Chains A and B, each alone.
Chain A
Amino acid sequence: MIAELGLAALWLAAALAFLQMAAGALALRAGPDSEIARLTRPGAVVQGALALVSFAALLYVFAVTDLSVALVAANSHSLKPWIYKVSGAWGNHEGSMLLWVTVMALAGGLIALVERRLPERTMQATLAAQGFVALGFYAFLLLSSNPFARLEPAAREGLGLNPLLQDIGLALHPPTLYLGYVGLSVAFSFAVGALLTRQVTPDFARVMRPWVLGAWIFLTLGITAGSYWAYYELGWGGWWFWDPVENASLMPWLAATALLHSVSVLASRDALRVWTIMLGVVAFSMSMVGTFLVRSGILTSVHAFAVDPERGSFILALLAIYIGGALLLFALRAATISEGERFSVASREGALVFNNVMLSGILAIVLLGTLYPLLTEAFGVRVSVGPPYFNPVSAIFAIPMFAVMAVGPLLRWRRDRWGRIGKQLALIAALLLAGLVLISMIGGIALLPLLGLAFALALGVASFLPLRGRRLARTPLATWGMVIAHFGIAVSLFGMASESAFSTERLAALEIGQATTVGPWQVELAAVGPQAGPNWTALAGQMVARYDGGNPVEIVPMARSFWAPPQQTSESVLVTRWNGQLYAVLGDAAEGGRWQVRLWWKPFVTFIWYGGGLIALGGMLSLIGRVAGDLKRRRVRRRARQRREDAEVPA
């Protein structure tokens, strides 16, 4: 019954998405004051509510393990822990698409409810575009991925007890990315709306900015968490493989980062109008392209995902309609939108434009490297593109970007003189040079990590320079956000470069009682014994690790064997210090009663993810600052209107 309710709500939501699209589109002709235009906003709000009902129904059937629902039978199990039963609702293709479209519908409802800053005609166009995008997803769900399909007769037990998928990281990671994708889809709708009415204004940028910021925060968190998950789960100490699935999440982030900065320029300076629209389309298309690449299975990746060619075709069709349509509109309309205000090289906008171009360059490189194997396979040739390609080639654009990133925030808007910030420039250059010289004196460090360390140093200091001479308590939150996010980039870069330059690895076959060293650590294998868990047995290695002869730390890496389905995993152990991590893995038994042990010492590797956290924190501060500012302006406007009305009454 609940499943049918969910399905009915989904159909109704789809119908309302159609209504929203049609009413919004007709309102473009009939005008924003017409009868039909009055349907658009309520349509969006009710659609959001219905999608929420549908998703709640899905959560319910998963929570109670209703095995007469095919999706539950295929992906859940009555013995799963409760939290994984619920998270199982979106741990599969159908459920994740329903989550996506639900969040999208809620976002649409929210805009329809509160957003009054834009000209109503643009709002109608935006909501029409939003309904159009949502309609495609509803069609996808209802026609080819119905999450509520019944199973006749009901299954006796579910199939989804895969222990590897019972992981809190896996439960939270996909929704984080979807939230990011949805934010970009809202930005896309705004871009299309503004393109339709040719009203690309600072107001438009201000309305769009929180959605881009929000999307960007979630994407940052998603990538950071995903990278850490791969790092500890795959058991080989790698944290980024330039794997297609990873690239699929990185590309929207790069585009969103560029969009975020160009939206800021548009909001404060009314410049970069066409460029912002273009990036709004590109950012969403990157999330769609990523979704397509991951789900269609046309690229080989190390990360598991249910792939299905039919779904792939559907997503490709949606991609073609949305993005092809938007780009066509762009080609036809963009020439009639003027570029906006001009500015000189030595200006905040100049630096932002430069870095926007650099980010686009990196994005193009990642896209090329990810798609190139696909292209050659069409001609029957298989090639591999990996880290030795991506690292140096993206550095061509990344290195100048870091340099400009250090300087840009110090510049004034519109026009500035280099001489004004001469001292700061000299400081940054001196830091960079000192870093390069001192670090290269250590010796044996490859060029890229060397550059990375030096730029991290310079950028880390430079990111705080914009606060110089300001009263910190009165500095706007958005500025703090920028400072912290830029500092986070430096921190993350430092972690990456340090990991690459200073990691040491030790593979050893140890007897019980024998010790080995890795970096400053001494690790002794004390014992190996069996251990049992709820659905696994394991060989557990008791190890005693000492940092530099200090206090012993007991660690127990395991090789686990699960029963259903039979699988082996290695449970690595991480020992975190302020200056890095010890990474320990227990391997197989070797001859002569020895045990294979894999150990890594990775100095400052944690900074990679601390940096990611700081970047997201900076984004949040910015978002809070912007939204608070918007709300304040709204109150002020309302009060002013009130006063005007009060004044008019006696007249």
Chain B
Amino acid sequence: MNWRLWLPLTAFVAFLAIAAYSMSQPKDDFVRSEMVGEPLPYFSLPPAAEGQPGVSSTDFADGKPRLLNIWASWCLPCIAEAPQLAELERQGAEIVGVAIRDKPEDIAAFLAEHGNPYTSIGRDDLSEVQLGIGSSGVPETFVIDGKGVITYQHIGDIRESDVPLLLEQLREAGA
């Protein structure tokens, strides 16, 4: 028997195994940030809403862990996650917003309608911060610890079941 003749079949079986395994896995379209575990890169964003300060990376290194929420008034899932952000705020989370490619009047209207859980909101008109921290969509929520290091990334809108998870991550980041 010639072992070489079995090579095509072996390669094909390997392909089948991979294909079958991939079919059985739910499709994951997320591009995860490689910046988790890294300090925030330097940035400084102008304020996005009247009466609230803008956001700078230096704000984060004061010992208090925070949530950094990437959102926009034009994004539909952001409306869906607004109640969860309010709930997180009620439970003591400090949430910093970064509005992506957004106009001040649209931001004001969104906050008036869906509530404002943010302590400060920065305008990121060129997606600079988004690119800087490795976020690839809206909305996304990052946990930043008291030293300004990114410790967790949540991709997509925050569902009710995600709230305890984020609080837990926040608590860990504070420890």
Tell whether A pairs with B: yes
- Give the contact stretch, choosing among B21-29, B62-70, B116-124, B147-155: B21-29
Residue from A309, A335, A375, A382 within 8 A of B23 (CB atoms): A309
| Contact present for B1 and A335 (CB under 8 Å) | yes
Shortest beta-carbon distance, B13 to chain A, in Å? 7
Q: Are A327 and B28 in contact (CB under 8 A)?
A: no
Is A316 within 8 A of B8, CB to CB?
Answer: no
Which B residues touch A328, using CB under 8 A?
Answer: 9
Q: Which of A296, A313, A324, A377 contacts B12 (CB 8 A)?
A: A324
Q: Mark B1-37, 1 if CB is under 8 A from A, else 0.
A: 1100110110011011011111101011101000000
- A371–B2 CB distance below 8 A: no
Given contacts A316-B16, A324-B13, A335-B1, contact A378 B21 (CB under 8 A): yes
Instruction: Tell me how far the C-beta of B35 lies from the nearest C-beta in chain A, rounded to whole angstroms.
Output: 16
Report the interface size class on chain B.
Answer: 20 to 34
Residues of chain B within 8 A of A375, CB atoms compared: 18
Q: Is the CB of A324 within 8 A of B19?
A: no
Are A316 and B1 within 8 A (Cβ)?
Answer: no
Query: In this complex, what residue of B is CB-closest to A292?
Result: B19
Question: How many angstroms between the C-alpha atoms of A281 and B5 in the bound complex?
Answer: 13
User: Are A335 and B5 also in contact (CB < 8 A) when A313-B23, A377-B22 are?
Assistant: yes
Known: A378-B18, A382-B31. Is A285-B12 also a contact (CB below 8 A)?
Answer: yes
Whether, in the assembled complex, A323 has its beta carbon less than 8 Å from a beta carbon of chain B, the answer is: yes
Docked pose: A375 CA to B21 CA in angstroms: 10
A298 part of interface (Cβ distance < 8 Å):
yes
Give bound CA distance, A371 to B15, whole Å: 9
Q: Chain A interface mostly helix, strand, loop or mixed? A: helix
Return chain A residues, CB-CB under 8 Å to B27: 297-298
A81-138 contacts to B (CB < 8 Å): none
Task: Please give me the residue from chain B that is nearest to A316 by CB atom.
Answer: B19
| Residue of B with least CB distance to A334 | B5
Interface residues of chain B: helix, strand, loop or mixed (majority): helix
Q: How far is the CB of A349 from chain B (nearest CB, A)?
A: 21
Tell yes or no: A421 within 8 A of B by CB.
no
**A-B pairs with beta carbons under 8 A, tally:** 58
Residues on the B chain within 8 Å of A509, using CB: none
Looking at the assembled complex, report how far the CB atom of A249 sits from the nearest CB atom of chain B, in whole angstroms.
Answer: 18
Q: Are B12 and A327 in contact (CB under 8 A)?
A: yes
- Complex Cα spacing A424 to B144, Å: 71
Contacting residues, chain A, for B1 (C-beta < 8 A) = 335
**Nearest neighbor of B31 in chain A, beta-carbon distance:** A382
**Interface presence of A312 (CB below 8 A):** yes
Q: Name the A residues within 8 Å of B19 (CB-CB).
A: 292, 296, 298, 316, 374
Specify which chain A residues have a CB less than 8 angstroms from the CB of B13 in the assembled complex: 324
In the complex, A188 has a CB within 8 A of chain B: no
Report chain A residues within 8 Å CB of B21: 378
CB-defined contacts of B5 to chain A, threshold 8 Å: 330-331, 334-335
CB–CB A374/B18 < 8 A = yes
A320: Cβ under 8 A from any B Cβ: yes
B135 to chain A, nearest CB (A): 15
Report B142-175 residues with CB < 8 Å from chain A CB. none
The reply to whether A316 and B20 contact each other, CB–CB distance below 8 Å, is yes
- Distance in Å: Cβ of A446 to nearest Cβ of chain B: 28
User: In the bound complex, what is the Cα–Cα distance between A313 and B20 (angstroms)?
Assistant: 8
Interface size class of A (residues with CB under 8 A): 20 to 34
Q: In the complex, which residues of chain A have a beta carbon less than 8 angstroms from the beta carbon of B22?
A: 298, 374, 377-378
Q: A335 and B12: CB pair below 8 A?
A: no
Interface residues of A in 517-550 (CB under 8 A from B): none
User: Closest CB-CB distance, A556 to chain B, in whole Å?
Assistant: 31
- Decide: A377 near B8, CB < 8 A? Known: A312-B23, A313-B23, A320-B16: no
Partner of B8, one of A300, A320, A330: A330
Q: Name which residue of chain B comes closest to A320, CB basis.
A: B16
Q: B residues within 8 A CB of A313? A: 23
Q: What separation, in Å, do the CA atoms of A316 and B19 have in the docked complex?
A: 8
The answer to the question of A28 belonging to the interface, with a C-beta cut-off of 8 Å to chain B, is no
In the assembled complex, A70 has its CB within 8 A of some CB on chain B:
no
Interfacial chain B residues near A17, Cβ < 8 Å: none
**Quick one: CB contact mask for A269-291 with B, threshold 8 Å, 1 for yes?**
00000000010011001000100
- Does A72 touch B at the CB level, under 8 Å? no
Q: Inside 8 A of B8's CB, which chain A residues have their CB?
A: 278, 281-282, 327, 330-331
Q: How far is the CB of B4 from chain A (nearest CB, A)?
A: 9
Chain B minimum-CB-distance residue to A298: B22
Within the assembled complex, what's the spacing in Å between the Cα atoms of A312 and B31? 24
Give the distance in Å from the alpha carbon of A328 to the alpha carbon of B7 in the complex: 10
Nearest to B19 among chain A residues (CB) is A316
Cα–Cα distance between A285 and B19 once the two chains are bound (Å): 14
A411 close to chain B: CB less than 8 A: no
A330 near B16: Cβ-Cβ < 8 Å: no
A323 to B15, CA, bound (A): 11
* Known contacts A331-B6, A331-B9: A324-B18 contact under CB 8 Å: no
Shortest distance from the beta carbon of B84 to any chain A beta carbon, whole Å = 26
C-alpha gap A324/B19 in the complex (Å)? 14
Is B9 a contact partner of A330 (Cβ separation < 8 A)? Answer: yes
Complexed CA–CA distance, A319 and B17 (Å): 12
Whole-angstrom CA separation of A544 from B108 in the bound complex: 45
Q: Is the CB of B2 within 8 A of A335?
A: yes
Contacts of B15 in A (CB 8 A): 289, 371
CB contacts (< 8 Å) of A330 on chain B: these are 5, 8-9
User: Whole-angstrom distance between the alpha carbons of A133 and B15 in the complex?
Assistant: 20
| Distance between A601 CB and nearest chain B CB, rounded to angstroms | 30
Q: Which residues of B contact A324 (CB under 8 A)?
A: 9, 12-13, 16
User: Contacts A330-B9, A374-B22: A319 and B28 contacting too (C-beta < 8 A)?
Assistant: no
Q: A320-B16, A330-B8, A335-B5 are in contact. List 15 more A-B contacts (CB 8 A).
A: A281-B8, A292-B19, A296-B23, A298-B27, A300-B29, A323-B12, A324-B9, A327-B12, A331-B8, A334-B5, A335-B1, A335-B2, A371-B15, A378-B18, A378-B21
The 9 closest A-B pairs by CB, nearest first: A327-B9, A331-B5, A331-B6, A298-B22, A335-B2, A334-B5, A327-B8, A331-B9, A378-B21
List 12 A-B residue pairs with CB atoms under 8 Å apart, sorted by A's residue number.
A282-B8, A292-B19, A298-B27, A309-B23, A316-B19, A316-B20, A324-B13, A331-B6, A331-B8, A334-B2, A371-B15, A374-B19
